[in-house]
Structure formats: structure tokens, C-alpha cells
Structure 1
Amino acid sequence: MKKLSDIKRYQLYIWLVPAFLLLNLVADVIDDRTDFPRRVVNEIWLVSYLSVVNYYLLEYTLPKLSWKRFVSSFLRLFLYVFIFSLGFYIWRYIGLSLHIFSALGTPVSMEQRIGILIGYSLKSVAFFGIIRHIYNYIKLKQDTQQLRIASQQAELNYLKSQTNPHFLFNTLNNIYSLARDKSDLAPESILRLSKILRYMLYETSSPYTAVEQDLKIIEDYVALEKLRYDDSLRINFNYDLEDMKQSLPPLLLIPLVENAFKHGVSETREQPFVDIHLSIKNRQLLFIVKNSTGDRAGETNTKENIGLSNLRRQLQLLYTDYQLKVLPGDYIFTATLQINLASHA
């Protein structure tokens, strides 16, 4: 079975050969030469020879040339000098002998005829070589782009494979603390966890989901976290969305909410709170998560955890116009995410 690369090379020459033939015929028309039908046959005869020779020159001979094999490379090129000159003349003579090629115009000497045919050959080499180079350049850019997309998708999948278990691990810790204390809220927490798991199993495999789906998961997660605290925890979750069906990468927002509870509220001794605001207008997303902390601004460890670092990398891969700011304050931590949803990479 032929290699795919060979098939693609054949496809290139399938349209490249007629294009070169058409170019020569157009030149004949411009020169207003007589006997145009016979010239068409002559051009077909000459182009058929040069097409085969150029194919083997460009696809097999030139790629194998090397300074390490200088002698053999020189002999190969010298052979093509013969093929494009005297060999081309012999091909023309064979056409005359078979009454396929017609001698048109003023008779010239053999040396002059070979010189004319060499010019014809060089024109064909330039045409086939330049077009082939442009084709390979475009194909290389397309292959590079496809490889980049595949690489980015693989990295996104890897980041999701890290984020989801990390998120699940923290959630299980919450349920464990309730079960350890033999809390009556443990069954409710397991029910909410089952909803989150169902979403992670069946919805996060697709690249996008409706923003309302992520809102439900955030609400379930917030409710699950709230079970661990008494009435002293104040939670404010509000949103303003033009379209609840607006598409968004699944679980993109959850790391900021998770971070607010795990590294903020859990370390706050007095008046813990979490404020969450989401708005999407004219495809501009604004997501603000503000939470209490147990430290002053200068005492806060600004090193990002796996959730925030993964979020930053996902944003780099998904969008070209976004901004993620984390601002430690006095006993307050604010994370602000802005995305132009139309700037998808």
C-alpha cells in the first residue's frame, strides 16, 4: 500500500502538470502563433517528459543530495543536466519519428535546438520547484497548526485530569469531617456530592457547557461547604447573565470558589464570609470572588495552589483576551477574573 505522503505528492502533480501546460499554451496564444492545435499536441508531448523528470528530480533526487556523498550527488546532478538537454532533444526526436510531434517554425541547427530546449527545461524546473516549495510551506504551517492544537488539547485534558480529582479530594474531606462528627447533615452532603460527580462524569468531557450548568455546580458546592459551618458564615452568591445558555468551558470557575473556602474561610476565626459575583454581558465575563482570611495582607502566603495555577494555564490555552487578578488584603482575599468570551484561541 502506498504511503499517505506519496499519495499527497501525486495529488500535487495532478494539478501542477496541467497548470504548467496551460501556462505554455497561454504563452503561445499571446505570441499569436499559427497552427495552435498542432502546438497543443507538441506542448503535451514535451510537458509529459518534463513532468516525469521534474517529479523524480524534486521528490527523490534533491532530497537525497548530501555533502557527505559529494561524488554520488554530483553524478546525479550531472545526469539531470544530460536529461534536461540532450535527453530532452532525443525525446523531441522520438516524437518526430512517431509523427506525434510536429516541426514548426524556422529550422535551426542541433546546437540551437538543444539551447532552446534547455531554456524550456529550466523554465519547467523553476515552475515546478517554486510551486512545490510554496505548497510544502503552506502544508508545513497547517501541520504545525494542527500539531499545536492537538498539543494544547492534550494539555487541557491533562489539566482537567488534575483539577477534577483535586476538587473531588477537597469535597470528600468536607464530607469526612461531617461523618467523623456523626452529623445529621452527612446524608445531604453525600447527595450534593453525587450531583457534582454526575456533572463531572457526563458534562465535563465536552469542551463547552451552558453557564447555567456550572452555576448549579457552584451552588451545590457552596451549599456543601456551608454544611461544615454554623450560622456565622455569611455567603453572598449573585449573578447577572444575559443568556443562561452562554457556552463556557466546564468547571472553569470552580477553582476560585474552592480556593475561597479552602484557603480563606477555613482559616478565618471571626466573621467568615464569601462574596461571589458573576456577570456576562456582551460576551464579557466578570467573575469576582471575595473571601475572609486569617492574616493581614503582609502575612498572606501568595504562592498559588494547584487550582489557581491550573486555572491560569487553562486560560492561556483557551482565550487570548483575559485577565486574572488575585489581591491579598487585610483579612480579605479578592480574585477577579475577566474574559472576553469571543477571544477563544
Structure 2
Amino acid sequence: MKKFSDIRRYELYRWLVPAFWLLNLLQDLVEGAGNFPLRAVNETWLALYISVINYRLLEHALPKLSWKRAGYGFWVLLSYLFAYSIGLFLWRAFGVTLHIFTPLGNPIPIQDRLGALVGYSVAAVAFFAIIRHLYNYIKLKQHAQQLRIVSQQAELNYLKSQTNPHFLFNTLNNIYSLARDKSDLAPESILRLSKMLRYMLYETGEPYIAVEKDLKIIDDYIALEKLRYDDSLRVNFNHDLEDMKQALPPLLLIPLVENAFKHGASETRERPFVDIHLSIKKRQLFFVVKNSTGEPAGDGGFNAQIGLSNLRRQLELLYTDYHLDIQRGDYIFTATLKINLSSHV
């Protein structure tokens, strides 16, 4: 972690130091100062010193200061005050001695020179500190956003891990009822279940799949459910899609279909039905599932099943623009799902 933090600091100062140098050159240009090449060398010499001192102050000295070590902190700050005044003055003189720094303009008294260098140092500290604070703030926000995404992805995977076994459990119950009755339809139902298992194992690992694949799994599930009923069950499944390759989270729609059979048609004694309609146009998904129920609207309240509860939470994690409406009428249950597929998080 420490090495990673050091890398981040080096990345900051790698562009912060040249930015400080360019800012001072720009000031010279604005002020119309002559001998620009020499001033560029002078600014380089001063920026080299002040950048090292600022790095030591902001990244090493200040983070270690505390009220418990007030005496130590006093001497540290005093030493940096010396570095930003006398130290910078001596560094300038050292550059003159090495013929790197070239004095320009009329000579001025030492106290005025020190005052000018102190002002230069204060501006440099302010520049470095402000940019460093903004940089760390942005990085912190990005890190928090990444943590939120990872957390939501973990929750989404958990919801999927709940939904799939729940879905398979209900399907196995259907097959069990056929096997118990020694129905000749049991082998066909097992074959369809194997297809669904293959789909869940090899197709649902990706965050998106083509909607045509989900349509196929819905078709297989409907066919599997119809094996349990006689000809009295009426099922209508139609769709209107602009693009069969439209990307969709896998198994997102199946809970509404499953709920229509398990808690609707299976509890209807007379004329059970399930009507399903899916439309996707201009990235707007419209999914309606209607099914018969065994009770009028006034008989008890509706308790959300695990599939619907998980679906609501998945929608919250996946999209910012969606609406799921559940309506219970007299002997009819309607679930309507609208999603703006462009609003994926």
C-alpha cells in the first residue's frame, strides 16, 4: 500500500512541477520581462529547489505533525521557514556561483531580495498545497466510487446466486410432480431442464447477453410449465423487438414469468391463463405479464416473493430509469416492467 501511495505522489509531482515552472514563465511573459531564455533557466533553477522543499514539507513533514509532538513540530516548521527564506537565497547565490543562475535587472538590497524570495516561496507552497488537495480529493472520490461499484457488483452476484437456485428449485418441483404421477412427460421435462441448466452455467456469467437467448429460456420454461397442465391453460407469449441482439442482463425477466405460473395459474381452478408481452424499441423495454389468480382483489394482500424482491433490487443496482408496477385485480394479476436500457449504471 505504501509503494502504491508513493507512486501516486510521484505521478502528481511529475506534472505539478512542470506546471509550476510554466506558470512562472507565463507570468514573466505577461509582465513583458526581457531575456526570456535566461529567465527560463533561472526559473528552472528556482523551481528545482522549491519543488524538492515542497515535496518534503507536504508529503513527509506535515503528515507527521501532531499536538502530542508540538515541540518537534515547532522545530520542523522553523527549519522549513529557514529553507523558504535564507535557504532559497543561498540556493540562488549557489546558482550564480555555478554560472547557472543569471541575475537580471538592477541590484537590490539583500532584505528586499529575501522579501521577494519569501513571497515566491509562499506562492509556491499555496500552489502546491491547493493542487495537491484537489488531486487527493478527486482520487478519494474515484476510489470511493470504485469501492461502491465493487460492492454493488458483489451484491448483484449474490442476488443472482439466490435467484437461479430458487428458479431451479421451482422447476424441479414441477418435474417431481410429473414423476410422482408417472407421467410420460417426465423425460421431456428433464430434457428441457438440462437445456436450462446448460444456459445458466455457460451463458449467464456475462453481464449482458443477447435478448434472443433470454427469449429462448423463457420459451423453454413456458413449455416446461405447460406439461403440468391440460388444455385448459391458455398461454400467450409475444414480442416485438427491433433488434434480437439487444443486450440485456441474463435472466432479468424470468422472475415475472415464474411468478405468473407459480402464484397465479397454478392457483386458478377455472380458465387459467398467462399473457406475456415483450417490446423493445429505441432502447425502451416494455414487459407485461398478466395471469389469472384464484381470488378476488379484496381477499388478502400480496406478499412479494423472493424472485420479485430480488428483481427489484437488481433493477436498483443496474438502472437509474425504470419502473416496476404490480397490480392485483379481481382474479387477475398484472406485472408491468419499463426500463430505459440506456440508463444502465
Q: CA deviation at 1:2?
A: 7.3
Q: CA deviation at 1:287?
A: 0.8
What CA distance in whole angstroms lies between the structure 2 residues aligned with 1:129 and 1:207? 42
Structure 2 unaligned spans of 5+: none
Aligned-residue identity in percent: 72
Indicate the SS of the match to 1:307.
Answer: helix
Indicate the SS of the match to 2:116.
Answer: helix
> Are the counterparts in 2 of residues 300 and 328 from structure 1 also a CA contact under 8 Å?
no
**1:61 alignment partner AA:** A
> Are the counterparts in 2 of residues 286 and 338 from structure 1 also a CA contact under 8 Å?
yes
> Are the counterparts in 2 of residues 321 and 339 from structure 1 also a CA contact under 8 Å?
yes
1:184 equivalent in structure 2: 184
**1:254 alignment partner AA:** I
1:73 equivalent in structure 2: 73
Structure 1 unaligned spans of 5+: none
Measured against aligned partners, the alpha-carbon deviations of 1:116-175 in whole angstroms (never above 9, x if no partner) come to: 110010111111112212222222222222222222211111111110111011111111
What CA distance in whole angstroms lies between the structure 2 residues aligned with 1:36 and 1:287? 70
1:206 equivalent in structure 2: 206
What CA distance in whole angstroms lies between the structure 2 residues aligned with 1:135 and 1:24? 21
1:197 equivalent in structure 2: 197
Which deviates more from structure 2 when the two are superposed, residues 224-233 or residues 69-78? 69-78
Q: CA deviation at 1:226?
A: 0.9
Structure 1 pair 217–300 and aligned structure 2 pair: CA distance change class (3 A): farther
Which deviates more from structure 2 when the two are superposed, residues 67-76 or residues 178-187? 67-76
1:94 is aligned to 2:94: yes
1:299 equivalent in structure 2: 299
Measured against aligned partners, the alpha-carbon deviations of 1:199-239 in whole angstroms (never above 9, x if no partner) come to: 10111011111111111101100110111111111111111
What CA distance in whole angstroms lies between the structure 2 residues aligned with 1:60 and 1:322? 49
Count of residues in correspondence between the two structures = 345
1:136 equivalent in structure 2: 136
Indicate the SS of the match to 1:297.
Answer: coil
**1:324 alignment partner AA:** L
Q: CA deviation at 1:37?
A: 2.5
Measured against aligned partners, the alpha-carbon deviations of 1:73-125 in whole angstroms (never above 9, x if no partner) come to: 23322221111111111212222222322222222222221111100101111
2:148 equivalent in structure 1: 148
2:120 equivalent in structure 1: 120
What CA distance in whole angstroms lies between the structure 2 residues aligned with 1:30 and 1:24? 10
What CA distance in whole angstroms lies between the structure 2 residues aligned with 1:167 and 1:146? 31
Measured against aligned partners, the alpha-carbon deviations of 1:280-300 in whole angstroms (never above 9, x if no partner) come to: 122211111111112221224
Which deviates more from structure 2 when the two are superposed, residues 187-196 or residues 109-118? 109-118
> Are the counterparts in 2 of residues 238 and 277 from structure 1 also a CA contact under 8 Å?
yes
1:182-261 mapped onto 2 (5 Å cutoff): 182-261=182-261
1:3 equivalent in structure 2: 3
What CA distance in whole angstroms lies between the structure 1 residues aligned with 2:264 and 2:13? 65
**1:302 alignment partner AA:** F
What CA distance in whole angstroms lies between the structure 1 residues aligned with 2:153 and 2:121? 47
**2:119 alignment partner AA:** G
Question: Which 4+ residue blocks in structure 1 deviate beyond 4 angstroms?
Answer: none
> Are the counterparts in 2 of residues 255 and 311 from structure 1 also a CA contact under 8 Å?
yes
Indicate the SS of the match to 1:299.
Answer: coil
What CA distance in whole angstroms lies between the structure 2 residues aligned with 1:208 and 1:35? 62
Indicate the SS of the match to 1:235.
Answer: strand
What CA distance in whole angstroms lies between the structure 2 residues aligned with 1:6 and 1:80? 22
**1:148 alignment partner AA:** R
**2:102 alignment partner AA:** S
What CA distance in whole angstroms lies between the structure 2 residues aligned with 1:50 and 1:3? 24
What CA distance in whole angstroms lies between the structure 1 residues aligned with 2:39 and 2:184? 96
Indicate the SS of the match to 2:205.
Answer: coil
**1:46 alignment partner AA:** L
What CA distance in whole angstroms lies between the structure 2 residues aligned with 1:293 and 1:196? 27
Measured against aligned partners, the alpha-carbon deviations of 1:38-82 in whole angstroms (never above 9, x if no partner) come to: 222221111111000011111122222223333322332222111
Which deviates more from structure 2 when the two are superposed, residues 201-210 or residues 138-147? 138-147
> Are the counterparts in 2 of residues 237 and 277 from structure 1 also a CA contact under 8 Å?
yes
Indicate the SS of the match to 1:251.
Answer: coil
1:22-41 mapped onto 2 (5 Å cutoff): 22-41=22-41
What CA distance in whole angstroms lies between the structure 1 residues aligned with 2:278 and 2:36? 74
> Are the counterparts in 2 of residues 288 and 337 from structure 1 also a CA contact under 8 Å?
yes
1:61 equivalent in structure 2: 61
Measured against aligned partners, the alpha-carbon deviations of 1:232-279 in whole angstroms (never above 9, x if no partner) come to: 111111111121111111100000010111111222222211111111
2:107 equivalent in structure 1: 107
1:309 equivalent in structure 2: 309
Which deviates more from structure 2 when the two are superposed, residues 97-106 or residues 164-173? 97-106
